[in-house]
Amino acid sequence: MITSKTISSGIIRALLTLVLGALVLFFFYQIQSVIIYLVVSFIFTMIGNPILDFFKRRLKFNHLFATITTLFIFILIIFGFIMMFIPLILSQGQNLSLLNTAEIEKNIIELANQISVFLESHQIDSSQILKEANISSKINFNIIPNFLNAILGTISSFVVGLASVLFITFFFLKDRLMFLLGVKKLIPNSHEFQILNSLEKINHLLSRYFIGLLLQLFIVFLLYFIVLVIFGIPDAIVIAFLCAVLNIIPYIGPLIASVLAAILTMISNLGGDFQSDILPTTIYVLIGFWIVQIIDNNLSQPIIFSKSVSSHPLEIFLVILIAGFLFGILGMIVAVPLYTIIKVIGKEFFPENKIIQSLTKDL
């Protein structure tokens, strides 16, 4: 028999549960930076595990020395990326400073005027539209140096974050067996085999995935760089790197990379004539980027990803598409790793399910 006392105690328990859940969420929100550090460190660990094993098995390093060497490789790669951007920052720092805001405005207006002349030569009356819109007066060119100052203001936070990630990654690599034993003590004995086997498979597949991702980005970077060098675009390495990193975002990233490449190409050729120099060069660069994306989408990306996570290319495409519709760009980025984890867990705990059998036959 349900009494008022039972109802009131149930309501109190529900309220306490809600309050406790809210406090936990608030706690996680307050330590979101630490969570990000842990996630990035976990990704670095997934990438570093095969490298560490190579040093131990092939070169006969002891575990500690192999861990230090692996971390040193990460530091060299990160340092190389940073050093790659220093020449660009030094060369463009003067132009982006507050003192040269007028010069930036002058260059952009000059480009807009050249576009207007080009359109008018093709019987498109754009001058009146541009005058009525008065775009130059509506654009706040101070946003450029302000944005630069904001970036400079985050450098100290980035350094702290990077140091924290490398520190955590070191212990993830060094003490991975200890962490595995700790997890083993926490899991129930009835599911110990399935959970440990799942963790081993997830570690193996995600390591292959992240290495495959780095390989795919390197191929795209190299092809972008070749296109930019062919057409004589300044700072080709930096532009190619930025556009290649955008390929982490499936399908949308390459489109953003094409727009970025077009803008930087036009800016780098501001001294030339729009119709005979700027426009043709920009079109050629865009065509080159689209060819690279065709090669990446139809050759390197499907082969690398399908091999690394043992999934069919169409399967990966549908997973990324669904995740994009449900969770946006972030969902597209994490879709493949999460889907791989779900597949591994499904195969270990529900091996008799026909759907899971069909999806995990290659695992």
pLDDT(39) > 70: yes
The pLDDT confidence band at residue 358, using thresholds 50, 70 and 90, is confident
Q: Tokens representing 107?
A: 């260059």
pLDDT 10s digits, 266-288: 877 666 666 677 778 888 889 99
Q: Tokens representing 164?
A: 């924290």
Q: Regarding predicted confidence, which is higher, 155 or 212?
A: 212
Name the percent of the chain lying above pLDDT 70.
75
For residue 94, the model assigns a pLDDT of 46
For residue 201, the model assigns a pLDDT of 82
Neighbours of 88 (CB within 10 A): 15
pLDDT 10s digits, 45-66: 887 888 888 888 888 888 889 9
The pLDDT confidence band at residue 98, using thresholds 50, 70 and 90, is very low
Q: Tokens representing 345?
A: 């867990």
The pLDDT confidence band at residue 96, using thresholds 50, 70 and 90, is very low
The pLDDT confidence band at residue 108, using thresholds 50, 70 and 90, is low
Q: Report the range of poorest mean pLDDT among 95-99, 199-203, 261-265, 269-273.
A: 95-99
Half-sphere exposure in the Cβ direction for 331 (13 Å, CA) = 12
Q: Tokens representing 20?
A: 């406790």
Task: Map tokens 């969420």 to a residue.
Answer: 25
Q: Report the range of poorest mean pLDDT among 127-131, 204-208, 312-316.
A: 127-131
Determine contact, residues 305/311, Cβ cutoff 8 Å: yes
